[in-house]
Amino acid sequence: MRNCRDISALVSQGLDKKLSLPERFSVWLHVLMCTRCRNFKTQTQFIRKAARRYTDELQSRLDNKSN
């Protein structure tokens, strides 16, 4: 069984690359039982999404400027 440190490392890695099926399964199984990691996963994904929205917005502003 993987511990919380392993899981949060996998969650972070999952933001930048696709995790393997066994990795995703471990994360999924762990967050079912562990509130702490479930919160961590939710927060990280939320921050990631917000950051992506921000960079998209920034990029579209830059694109508009060059037109």
Q: How far apart are CA 64 and CA 67, in angstroms?
A: 5
| 27 is a contact residue toward Zn ion (CB under 5 A) | no
**In whole angstroms, how large is the CA radius of gyration of the chain?**
16
What is the residue whose two structure tokens read 């996963």? 41
Looking at beta carbons only, is 1 or 62 nearer to Zn ion? 1
Looking at beta carbons only, is 4 or 50 nearer to Zn ion? 4
Shortest Å distance, C-beta 54 to Zn ion? 29
| 34 is a contact residue toward Zn ion (CB under 5 A) | yes
Angle, CA 31 vertex, CA 55 and CA 12 arms, to 5° = 35
| 37 is a contact residue toward Zn ion (CB under 5 A) | yes
